[in-house]
Chains A and B, each alone.
Chain A
Amino acid sequence: MTDAATDIVRCPACAEAVVPGDAFCESCGAAVSAGAVAPTDDDTMPMELPPNGGRADGTTFSPAPGVADECLECGGDVLDDGFCSQCGKRAPSPRDHFRESPVDWVGGVCDRGIAHARNEDAMALAGMPDRSLAVLVVCDGVTSAPDSDRASLAAAREACAALVSTPLPTSQGVAATLSHWSSAISRAAATANAATIGVARSLGNPAEPPSCTFVAAVLHRDVVTVGWCGDSRAYWLPDGGPAVALTLDHSLGTELMQRGMSQAEAEADSTFHTITRWLGADSVDPTAETSSRELDAPGWLLVCSDGLWNYASPPAAVRAVVDDQLAAGHTTPVALAAALVRWANEQGGHDNITAALARHEPSLR
């Protein structure tokens, strides 16, 4: 969308002016069409998002954060003036709080939390209606670098789009599946890294370039493959069984524990949260580490930022919180994600919070 006379590029969602070359609107976070994107170099992927997920096979892909149309506090309708029609609470901006539920078995909530002024977390989700494939990507912007909210959103969306447009593996075996998705996620992480560098370039390559963590999970039939860079996490929570962590933070905290500290001791250390890998122009190692797991029971795949796991880090603690929310009746992915975000806010909301979930239910496939 371009003003013919002035060449001002405008956001297709909110009509705010967009910095030429930006892939996403700074104001609302919506994707700006290809026409607004600067020519790309070899080291960057095209920023145009594949239309409707880019797949002919029905995978849906939600292109932009939806505006919350119901009050997060009382459930009342939010009016055009941005305030709840019942309790008067101001609805957060679409960048500060958004929900996605591309299919009924995949959903997530990305929220500013309470203490931070901006939401630098980002999330992008996709899923097949037949429950054969889900893609969950979460990126956590590094607060010390300005504009990391833009970098994280670009990274998450580009990675998700790359994974969604990846052809399915040609053979169905577990080994073939995990091998296929491991390399796809590694490529998606490179794509996401290029996106963050693209954001930095559009900002004139600031000395402290915007950067973010990365975690992507692909649930393909009964195999989950995860790739990560930094301290955003994935957990597998089988019904009735013990939860397991699918990621191991790239952080000084992990290094402390590898040197023999207990988790509790390490988490008390001031360097615990210092990440050792991230995406961004100044990253020394933007590669994703991958892991995978064959799932032998129905259960929940959870991908989250540290805004959630700060309050429930060990798998057993995550399991307990999730079980509490399920018992309270929050049983759809997006409702469960919203409940987890609300719970983290009740614990203080000291960081941005993202919770993305896929419900693995082989019998419904």
Chain B
Amino acid sequence: MAEFTAEVFQNEYLADGATDAHAVVSVTCRGAGKAGEVGDAAEIIIVDTSGSMDMPPTKIAAARRAARVAVDEIVDGTWFAVISGHSVAQMVYPPHPGMAKMTSVTRADAQQAVERLRSGGATAIGAWIQAATELFAQVSAAQRHAILLTDGKIEGEPESALPQALEAARGRFQCDCRGIGQDWVVEELREIATALMGTVDIVAKPEDLEADFESMMRESMNRGVADARLRIWTPQGSEVLFVRQVAPTVEDLTARGVQTAPLVREFPTGAWSDESRDYHVAVRVPVAGVGNERLAARVELVVDDEVRAKSLVKAVWSTDTHLTTRIDPAVAHYTGQVKLADTIQKGLAAKAAGDDRTATVLLGEAAKIAHDSGNENTTRLLEKVVDVVDADTGTVRLKQHVEKTDEMALDTRSTKTTRIRREP
């Protein structure tokens, strides 16, 4: 059985009259096992086959190969389906609306069917999501996951189609989203990935798609814990300011919280493999006198209503400024990483709007945070968009010629954080 541990990083000391307790809770899962071991698993692969996938034709060819390796990675016994997405969602495998159990026979049949994928039509992603929701509803699976590939922006369906489809799909399955090429819209895929608790990334070159699908599906098959939730108790009279996943990516979970008892809220975190995730929890508690010790939050990792790990966020009021002014390094680090993602996204938006001045300031600020926090991946991505003159002061110049895919990569991956460098 999977084993969870939770560790809390915080400075529990609050100055007299202070009310806000911040903590980073690091949750680690070991021994997760394989998807489908506890309750069935179900996988749907959604491949964009709109007309643009033929321009150039290397895209549709790469999509076929990628779908094929993804099918390869799905372990026997898993429910699965492949959907061809264009103006409508069309079954590729099984041939009629439904899901098949993976066996050596169905795997071979599915791979043959994938070879017949042809492009033509619009990009009605809302309809594809809706179709996936309906297919998943036909099987009884503990764990449902989809991969969605597109190369373009949504067209050929009303604007309300996607929000409606996401509302119906929320909590029913997780969806990892990939954009191929440079004609898709980061915002659209991010909206889907956020709503459906999946990742979003760019695959700039068609030849990289196969490896990406392989690792994505393998990762999904390694998620042996189907559904875990963060259960957070906070004291009477308190207010949860926010609950954020801060590693490996930034994801604001605050709005996902569901009140399950008078002082308790639960936040879905989806399926888990052997991995670590960090959460930044901020709680505003009623002030207590100097010398008092209060619990600001009980943070529990819950699977099937069973508490599997627990950590305590505390508040101790003190007049000792040596104690109260220190900011916990983990809290400081991730506060910086969240700001980094936000600054990059705002900077790129300013650049897109033609406001180079604001873009330069914001991307300069981002370069400084990325440099100071040792986020080398983000630094590399930034350097493709700006020339860093002085990272220490955050002085940058916008590059004259920037590949659009580099900008999209920076935008998409801005939420990827580095982990705090812990003392050995």
Interfacial residues, chain A to chain B (CB-CB below 8 A): 74, 81, 83-90, 114
Contact = CB atoms under 8 A, between A and B. Distances in A.
Contacts of B238: 88
B329 interface: no
B291 A88 contact: no
B236 A87 contact: yes
Interface stretch (B31-39, B152-160, B294-302): B294-302
B138 interface: no
A114 B289 CA distance: 11
B298 A81 contact: yes
B293 interface: yes
A85 B312 CA distance: 12
A89 B292 contact: yes
A276 B326 CA distance: 47
Contact of A83 (B236, B286, B295): B295
B294 A89 contact: yes
A84 B291 contact: no
A33 B233 CA distance: 39
B295 A90 contact: yes
Residue of A84, A88, A90, A114 most packed against chain B (CB within 10 A): A88
Interface in B296-340: 296, 298, 310, 312, 315
**Main DSSP-derived SS at the A contact region:** loop
Nearest to B311: A81
A11 to B, nearest CB: 24
Contacts of A84: 235, 295
Contacts of B292: 89
Contacts of B291: 114
Contacts of B236: 74, 86-88
A84 B294 CA distance: 9
10 residue pairs, one from A and one from B, having the closest CB atoms:
A88-B235, A88-B295, A83-B295, A88-B294, A90-B293, A86-B236, A87-B235, A87-B236, A89-B294, A81-B312
Contacts of B235: 84, 86-88
Given A85-B233, A88-B234, A88-B236, 17 more contacts: A81-B298, A83-B294, A83-B295, A83-B298, A83-B312, A84-B295, A85-B263, A86-B236, A87-B294, A88-B238, A88-B285, A88-B294, A88-B296, A89-B293, A89-B295, A90-B294, A114-B291
Contacts of A86: 235-236, 263
A6 B294 CA distance: 38
Contacts of A85: 233, 263
B23 to A, nearest CB: 14
A83 B315 CA distance: 12
16 contacts: A74-B236, A81-B298, A83-B294, A84-B235, A85-B233, A87-B286, A87-B294, A88-B234, A88-B235, A88-B285, A88-B294, A88-B296, A89-B292, A89-B293, A89-B295, A114-B291
Interface in B187-241: 233-238
A82 to B, nearest CB: 9
Residue of B235, B285, B288, B291 most packed against chain A (CB within 10 A): B235
A280 B15 CA distance: 42
B369 to A, nearest CB: 34
B281 to A, nearest CB: 14
B237 to A, nearest CB: 8
Nearest to B238: A88
A90 B292 CA distance: 8
B293 to A, nearest CB: 4
Interface string B274-296: 00000000000110100111111
Interface string B373-404: 00000000000000000000000000000000
A361 B319 CA distance: 49
Contacts of A89: 288, 292-295
Nearest to A86: B236
A74 B294 CA distance: 13
A305 B397 CA distance: 74
B292 to A, nearest CB: 7
Contacts of A88: 234-236, 238, 285, 294-296, 315
Nearest to B288: A89
A318 to B, nearest CB: 27
A17 to B, nearest CB: 25
A105 B292 CA distance: 33
A307 B288 CA distance: 23
Residue of B236, B291, B295 most packed against chain A (CB within 10 A): B295
A347 B397 CA distance: 65
Nearest to B289: A114
Nearest to A74: B236
Interface in B228-267: 233-238, 263
Nearest to B293: A90
A84 B292 CA distance: 13
A285 B235 CA distance: 52
B309 to A, nearest CB: 13
Residue of A87, A89, A114 most packed against chain B (CB within 10 A): A87
Contacts of B298: 81, 83
A361 to B, nearest CB: 39
A86 B294 CA distance: 11
A351 to B, nearest CB: 15
B6 to A, nearest CB: 13
A88 B264 CA distance: 13
Contacts of A81: 295, 298, 310, 312
A330 to B, nearest CB: 23
Contacts of B233: 85
Nearest to B316: A90
A218 B100 CA distance: 83
A246 B286 CA distance: 44
Interface in B18-58: none
